Amino acid sequence: MCLVLTLFPFPLLPAENPGPPPPPKSADPLLSPTGDFSFGSESILKACWTEKELRGSPEDKKDRPAPPGSSGPPERIKPKNRRAPLPVELQGSIRSVQPPDGEKILALTFDLCESHGEISGYDAGVVNYLRENGIRATFFMGGRWMRDHPEKALQLMADPLFEIGNHTWSHRNLRKRTLGKIKEEILWTQAEYELLREKLTARTCAQNAGQAELDKIPALPLAFRFPFGTCKPGALKFLADSGLPAIQWNLVADDAGYDHTAAQLARIILREARPGAIVVLHANGHGYNTAEALPLLIPELRKAGFEFVTVTGLLTRARKVSNYSDCFELKPGDNYRYDFITGVRALPPQRKDRMVFPSPVTGERKPRI
Ligand SMILES: [Zn+2]
């Protein structure tokens, strides 16, 4: 399905129950008819963390085993705020957009996945390169990842360069989950973001910046990404009702699936980059050479005339959005191996090929998740 985008902007609805007042309009970039919006506040970022704290450490990249009980729910299980349902043009699984003629815009997205049993990392090299070079990007954060990395989550949330998306609570294959569990995965993550945002806005360093700066940090994550890129119609419908565009991708370098060199990763992306593309990469320490690829890639893309935007920036500037009723990596059905691996179905022998995915560089085929 590929439909013309006409209905921006769309509003935040008031909270269902009495609670804090709805955020002011400036907190929701999709409300801006001019495209002039912010995803955070430079003055809050600089006031609340030192340069050293923002730079992080190579140690942050390492995985740790999760302590028992770490998959339990957040303190709040339902967000107080909610967004208006999506217009039909933004429903379904969004893979790319068609920008206005001549606009070479592209969205870099980085997943911060955290699965059951692990505490995944934070790739400071990725974030530092983006900050040093003023590159806009979208980070899809797991809810558990936010809770396990509160300072990093807050730093990314406060940074005006970066947009935050929802990557579910515990990174399950949602095609395997009941609708009730799917809703939990989505809502718990929205609620965890809200809780963290409230903690930040209560800090003196943030309050001193003033209400106008606080309002620049969106009240909720603005987009959503399915773990493994696997979805089902009930999940897409719930996201549409919740005002969360389901962002897939059309450019996968597979930085977490193969130990590509930085040069190989950069070559794949440079070869496939098109105006309106959505690129998927990882910043949770599971990407091989992701940070090292950026200095090879970004200057070349800039030289070719590309401008980097967040996914919301891409959607607000799109002439058309390419959206689908199914989710896949590069072609329909190519992520069914996750159903097999997570036990949701047995693959018929003739479809065993769906368990493997060829390396975009070498063509090598091997089972992986
Ligand atoms: Zn993920």
Burial tier of 299 (Cβ tally within 10 Å: 0-12, 13-18, 19+) = exposed
CA of 171 to the centre of ligand 1 (A): 6
CA of 143 to the centre of ligand 1 (A): 11
Comparison of pLDDT for 3 and 202, the residue scoring more: 202
Residue 256 DSSP class: T
Three-state helix/strand/coil letters over 177-229: CCHHHHHHHHHHHHHHHHHHHHHHHCCHHHHCCCHHHHCCCCCCCCCECCHHH
Per domain, the residue ranges of the chain are 85-367
Picking from 9, 30, 348, the residue whose alpha carbon sits closest to that of residue 219 is: 30
CA of 112 to the centre of ligand 1 (A): 6
CA of 307 to the centre of ligand 1 (A): 25
CA of 189 to the centre of ligand 1 (A): 14
| Contact criterion met (CB below 8 Å) for 9 and 30 | yes
- Express each pLDDT in 104-118 by its tens digit: 999 999 999 999 889
CA of 63 to the centre of ligand 1 (A): 14
Average pLDDT over residues 295-307: 98
Q: How many helices (H) and strands (E) does the chain have?
A: 13, 16
CA of 250 to the centre of ligand 1 (A): 15
CA of 231 to the centre of ligand 1 (A): 13
CA of 99 to the centre of ligand 1 (A): 26
Average pLDDT over residues 37-65: 94
CA of 25 to the centre of ligand 1 (A): 30
Cα–Cα distance, 4 to 356 (Å, whole number) = 35
pLDDT more than 90, % of the chain: 69
Token couple for 40: 């955070």
Cα–Cα distance, 217 to 122 (Å, whole number) = 21
Q: At what angle do helices 290-303 and 124-132 cross, to 10 degrees?
A: 20
The secondary structure element, H or E, covering residue 140 is: strand 137-141
* H-state helical runs in the chain: 42-48, 51-55, 124-132, 143-148, 150-158, 179-201, 204-207, 211-214, 233-241, 262-272, 290-303, 311-317, 337-341
- Express each pLDDT in 309-345 by its tens digit: 999 999 999 989 998 999 988 888 888 878 776 665 5
CA of 139 to the centre of ligand 1 (A): 11
Q: What are phi and psi of 282, to 5 degrees?
A: -130, 145
Comparison of pLDDT for 240 and 69, the residue scoring more: 240
- Mean pLDDT, the chain, whole residue set: 86
Token couple for 119: 């505490």
Comparison of pLDDT for 30 and 369, the residue scoring more: 30
Cα–Cα distance, 90 to 277 (Å, whole number) = 16
Confidence category of residue 67, pLDDT binned at 50, 70, 90: confident
| Contact criterion met (CB below 8 Å) for 146 and 189 | yes
CA of 78 to the centre of ligand 1 (A): 22
Are β-strands 2-4 and 320-324 bridged in parallel, bridged antiparallel, or unpaired?
antiparallel
Cα–Cα distance, 367 to 369 (Å, whole number) = 7
Other C-beta atoms lying within 10 Å of the C-beta of residue 51: 7
CA of 173 to the centre of ligand 1 (A): 10
Sign, CA dihedral 21-27-31-34, equals positive
CA of 281 to the centre of ligand 1 (A): 9
- Express each pLDDT in 237-293 by its tens digit: 999 999 999 999 999 998 988 788 999 999 999 999 999 999 999 999 999 999 999
β-pair partners for 367 = 356
> Is domain 85-367 annotated with CATH 3.20.20.370?
yes
pLDDT tops 50 at residue 7: no
Residues with CB under 5 A from ligand 1 (ion): 111, 113, 227
- Express each pLDDT in 140-155 by its tens digit: 999 999 999 999 999 9
pLDDT tops 50 at residue 40: yes
Burial tier of 230 (Cβ tally within 10 Å: 0-12, 13-18, 19+) = buried
Residues in the chain: 369
CA of 106 to the centre of ligand 1 (A): 20
How much is the pTM?
0.87
The pLDDT value recorded for residue 14 is 43
Q: What are phi and psi of 37, to 5 degrees?
A: -145, 170
How far, CA to CA in Å, does 204 sit from each of 12, 39, 290?
Answer: 27, 20, 35
CA of 225 to the centre of ligand 1 (A): 8
CA of 113 to the centre of ligand 1 (A): 4
CA of 309 to the centre of ligand 1 (A): 20
CA of 256 to the centre of ligand 1 (A): 10
